[in-house]
Structure 1
Amino acid sequence: MGALGRFISWLTHKLIFGAVLAVVGLAGFGFWVYLRDQVDFDVRRLEIVRALTGETAKLQAALSDVEARMAAARVELGAQQDRAAQAAKVARDLEGLSGGLNRLTTDAAQLKENDERRARMRQMEADSLKRVADLQDGLKRTQWEKDGLEIALGRMQMQLKSVEENKSKVLHYAREAWARHGPYVLLIVGLYFLGPPLGRVFLYTVFAPFVSGRSPVLLGAATEVLPEITVSRSSMDLTLGPGDTLWVKEKFLQASDEGLNKRTKTVLDWSMPVTCVAAGLSELIEMHNRTDAATYRATFSSKENPNTELVLVSVPPGASLVMRPSFLAGAVGVGGGKVRIRRHWRLFKMQSWVTGQFRYFEFVGPCRLLVAGSRGVRAEVLTPMPGNLAPARRTNQDATIGFTPGLAYRPVRAETFWAYFRGMNPLFDDLFEGEGVFLCQETSAKGPQEQVRKFWAALWGGVLRIFGL
């Protein structure tokens, strides 16, 4: 499926879920209205019908009054127009009698009477025309009033018809919920679409820089001796000298020499049984070389995932390696000794709350560790160099396996916003500073850190849900 197809699929899912969210929100608000409604639905419906019927009757009476006034105004308008026309005609006739030769043959008293009558006719005409203009203006305003009443009456009749036909309680309370709480439903749907993008922007621009500036986690001082790491292989051979003991997960053991004494080891370390079970370090195969001079060999590779590769980490005396136990495929106690594991708690570090890792496990030498990683395990060595006396290197948080305790470790904001925004990278990368070695997978498998990222994503979603978002 191409990018366009994925976008259409994503948009379809968002729209469908948004519609479902709107329906559920409307149903919830409708149920809330129903619970708070103390009046019987049928009684309330009859009351509304009576109220709407009364309002409709008032509007009809007002409309009838307006129509009556308009009819009376039209009658008066016609009469005034006729009166103005008649007055104008009489005035013109009188002007004809008093003008030209008629003025010479008519006595002065008659001329005076004609002039006075003509003046009265002109005044009558002017009064009638003014009244016509007033009536026309009044008719226009009355027509507007009539139009408004007709619109209001139409709406009222539609509402009355809807209430009379609506005998469903579900539909009634759905409409009530929309009328009272519709904006909240729209707000919830809007936050569903815009909340996650805005949350990612906030986390990247505000929260991540704040966390990146906190002091790093430092579990120990730098040492002169460092663990030795072999080349990553899909199959790894390991030799067990006299007195050596190997504990390995069964799914990694492929072959071993016959002279080794084998038994089942319930957990790797009884001082932390729950941790061992959670990390898969339970029901291990224990192989012990009881001879004084013989050397035996065992071969390891992943039986479940062909992309998993192994490295052998040799931790000499005086050195140690901080590592997540879930990446440990096996461990070798040298000369009959056990594998010593120190635990470091960091409950009050901001970095611990961000990464979800409050406890660190330090494997103390001498020992050998068989480490598994996706597509291989890479060792990054940080040493001061001319021009770079404080070396630092970042890696994808999902790829980190372990590091020497002399390295300062802290999460820093991902370098590119778009990769994080699209979910291609986590919000934080791991940054290591100082002198030492850290191990990481060649590819970021969906391993423990992916679960941490999902945890924070779920936590953010939970916070949104708590506030109704």
Structure 2
Amino acid sequence: MTAIRRLAGWVLRRSILFVALVAALLIYRATRPSFESLAGLRESAAAMAAGGPALEGFARDIAARAEAESLAYHRLGREALDTRIAAAEQARAPLASACGADLPALLTRGAAGVIDNRRKCLTTAALTREIETLVALRTSLDARRPGEPLADALRRHAATMRVAAAIVRDAQARLATLNGDYVPNLLQRREIALQRARITGALAAHRAAARDARALIATQQGIAAARRRAAAISGEALARYRTLAKVRAKALSDNLLQRASAWAETNRLRSVAVQAAGAFLLIVATPYLIRLFCFFVVAPLAARRPAIRLMERGASITLPGPSAPSVGVRLATGEELMVRQDYLQTSSHAGTKRTRWLLDPRHPLTSLAAGLAFLTRIRGDGELTTVSAVRDPFAEVLLLDLPAGAALVLHPRALAAVAQPIDQPLRVETRWRLGSLHAWLTLQLRYVLFHGPVRLVVKGGRGVRVEQAEAGRVFGQEQLVGFSADLAYSVTRAETFWPYFLGREPLLKDRVAAGGGILVAEEAPLAGRRGGEVRHGIEGLIDAVLTMFGL
């Protein structure tokens, strides 16, 4: 069944990993175009914003150049005008579609394509102005002398018209005088004919000058109209460019990723991320730095401090046999047995049984906290009682005999039963060691001593082992549950560095110096706990408090 659960767990974990990989790939494929379009949008918006001033400068330059060139067109003759018109039309032909939509250029070539398109449109406007100006000048070519500017030609024709008008007025005045003579002579008739001829010639000259003036004015108007149309086309081209630049900028500002980027820049997210990363690294590294400090500074310092010795010399304690799932306790004459309710397996029917509220009434809190309350007291000479962990499948028990004069430091939680003389009850003594660094490092400031004569039934996960101190022993803090009170107890640093540094082993272990006493160790302290792990949270806090009080 365990193998099936492991296989199912392995398959489930791999399935979750596979689903996570598929989701990651889908998210990447879904967001990658967004990131790419954001990059292109950001690039095109920046390029168009930067290209606007340059494009406007190009428009001003090309308009100024066209204006300067138009001032010299009056010097061109008919053939030169025709040649110039043909060249301008040929140059304009490939640029005819440049003033259309910019979307194809934007999609194919980006912002550079739009800028190039607008430059071509501005060039087309300048060429169109040049063609229309040249055509207008060509229509009034007969009204001007070779190389004569329009303004000079207009002034000349205006002067001609004024002179002709003056001649007409003078001739008409003379005709009026001559016509007043009712009998004109021959000479007067000749004068009348002459004045009439003057009027006819002046009127013809006036009409010719007026015609040429009108042609020149039409040319000026055509040139002005060409200038206005070119300016309108250029203005429209620039306006469309500015509109497209605003559209791209708005699209960039409306983009969620760009908003996130702008928000990050506004809130200095990069700086915050760097600070958070530094704080995170410090938080992650702090436990390891503390471990380094504790391993190389605190632990060696603690090892050099004097050990804890609770009693100078005591009677020797005989080593018991190995622990077992159950142990039989036969009462001697004048003895009584006090056993936990959940460790009472079988008892003699003839024995006297009563409830013992506390193991030691002088230490009620210790008895209650260690679970040594509501005990079953059994009396009867020779009565046999079997002590076993009825509810804990991993616990084993061991019977330890403390003679008179012997004392054992023991966690009360490890007691399952006590057999004591009725007339000499168990003496429990507590001693504090607030001034010892070893006590503070192990957080055990109080030690509970059990004095003989008494027989103790000690329990432990997967068994209890009792051995001689001999040349000194080192135990894990969870394993050591008791030791002879005359032994020197201290802490020592873990034997290897890396298991401690990586959190696999504790920094300190219990050390008992050489002597004739015994050590009581629990084989597997975590065997009876769910999951076999150290408890955390409230349960861990309670365990720490119990350890502090030696329970």
Shared topology, TM-score over 0.5? yes
Asked if 1:404 is matched to 2:484, the reply is yes
Deviation (angstroms), 1:433: 0.2
Distance change (3 Å), C-alpha of 1:371 and 1:164: closer
One-letter code aligned to 2:508: F
CA distance in 2, matches of 1:189, 1:156: 37
CA distance in 2, matches of 1:432, 1:369: 21
Q: Is the 8 Å Cα contact of residues 394 and 528 (structure 2) preserved in structure 1?
A: no
Deviation (angstroms), 1:214: 2.4
Name which structure has the greater RCO, CA cutoff 8 Å, separation 6+: 1
Q: Which residue in 2 is equivalent to 1:246?
A: 337
Asked if 1:357 is matched to 2:444, the reply is yes
SS at match of 1:321: strand
Q: Which residue in 2 is equivalent to 1:432?
A: 512
Asked if 1:370 is matched to 2:471, the reply is no
Q: Which residue in 2 is equivalent to 1:275?
A: 366
One-letter code aligned to 2:351: L
Q: Which residue in 1 is equivalent to 2:418?
A: 331
CA distance in 2, matches of 1:338, 1:156: 93
Q: Is the 8 Å Cα contact of residues 315 and 403 (structure 2) preserved in structure 1?
A: no
Q: Is the 8 Å Cα contact of residues 426 and 453 (structure 1) preserved in structure 2?
A: no
Superposed CA offset, 1:156-175 (max 9, x none): 87875469996x9xx96997
Q: Is the 8 Å Cα contact of residues 200 and 421 (structure 1) preserved in structure 2?
A: yes
CA distance in 1, matches of 2:314, 2:395: 30
Q: Which residue in 1 is equivalent to 2:294?
A: 203
**Which residue among 397, 416, 437 is the counterpart of 2:496?**
416
CA distance in 2, matches of 1:265, 1:313: 21
Deviation (angstroms), 1:191: 4.0
Distance change (3 Å), C-alpha of 1:164 and 1:378: closer
Counterparts of 1:9-408 in structure 2, within 5 Å, are 64-66=52-54, 160-161=253-254, 176=267, 178=269, 181-289=272-380, 294-383=381-470, 391-408=471-488
Distance change (3 Å), C-alpha of 1:227 and 1:158: farther
Distance change (3 Å), C-alpha of 1:446 and 1:63: same
CA distance in 2, matches of 1:334, 1:424: 46
Give the CA RMSD over aligned residues: 4.4
CA distance in 2, matches of 1:401, 1:454: 21
One-letter code aligned to 1:342: E
Asked if 1:443 is matched to 2:524, the reply is yes
CA distance in 2, matches of 1:368, 1:164: 77
Deviation (angstroms), 1:195: 4.0
One-letter code aligned to 1:426: P
Q: Is the 8 Å Cα contact of residues 399 and 445 (structure 1) preserved in structure 2?
A: no
Size of the aligned set, in residue pairs, is 322
Unaligned runs of 5+ in 2: 1-5, 18-44, 65-245, 542-551
SS at match of 1:219: coil
Deviation (angstroms), 1:69: 6.1
CA distance in 1, matches of 2:56, 2:264: 41
SS at match of 1:207: helix
Deviation (angstroms), 1:213: 2.8
Q: Is the 8 Å Cα contact of residues 308 and 438 (structure 2) preserved in structure 1?
A: yes
Distance change (3 Å), C-alpha of 1:159 and 1:406: farther
Unaligned runs of 5+ in 1: 13-55, 77-152, 384-390, 460-469
Q: Is the 8 Å Cα contact of residues 483 and 518 (structure 2) preserved in structure 1?
A: yes
One-letter code aligned to 1:358: L
Deviation (angstroms), 1:453: 8.8
Q: Is the 8 Å Cα contact of residues 427 and 451 (structure 2) preserved in structure 1?
A: yes
TM-score by length of 1: 0.58
Superposed CA offset, 1:163-200 (max 9, x none): 9996x9xx969973736633333234334544444444
Superposed CA offset, 1:86-110 (max 9, x none): xxxxxxxxxxxxxxxxxxxxxxxxx
Q: Is the 8 Å Cα contact of residues 227 and 320 (structure 1) preserved in structure 2?
A: no
One-letter code aligned to 2:348: D
- More helix by percentage: 2
Distance change (3 Å), C-alpha of 1:437 and 1:164: closer
Identity level (%): 30
Q: Is the 8 Å Cα contact of residues 343 and 362 (structure 1) preserved in structure 2?
A: yes
CA distance in 2, matches of 1:220, 1:415: 28
CA distance in 2, matches of 1:316, 1:441: 22
Q: Is the 8 Å Cα contact of residues 319 and 467 (structure 2) preserved in structure 1?
A: no
CA distance in 2, matches of 1:74, 1:323: 103
Distance change (3 Å), C-alpha of 1:221 and 1:154: farther
**Structure label with greater radius of gyration:** 2
SS at match of 2:386: strand
CA distance in 2, matches of 1:228, 1:218: 21
Distance change (3 Å), C-alpha of 1:207 and 1:200: same
CA distance in 2, matches of 1:253, 1:174: 72
CA distance in 1, matches of 2:257, 2:395: 71
Q: Is the 8 Å Cα contact of residues 382 and 437 (structure 1) preserved in structure 2?
A: yes
CA distance in 1, matches of 2:250, 2:371: 73
Deviation (angstroms), 1:311: 1.1
Superposed CA offset, 1:12-71 (max 9, x none): 9xxxxxxxxxxxxxxxxxxxxxxxxxxxxxxxxxxxxxxxxxxx99x95x8655556678
Q: Is the 8 Å Cα contact of residues 336 and 419 (structure 2) preserved in structure 1?
A: yes
CA distance in 2, matches of 1:304, 1:179: 59
SS at match of 1:298: strand
SS at match of 1:398: coil
Q: Is the 8 Å Cα contact of residues 526 and 534 (structure 2) preserved in structure 1?
A: no
Distance change (3 Å), C-alpha of 1:158 and 1:180: farther
One-letter code aligned to 1:218: R
CA distance in 2, matches of 1:451, 1:276: 26
TM-score by length of 2: 0.50
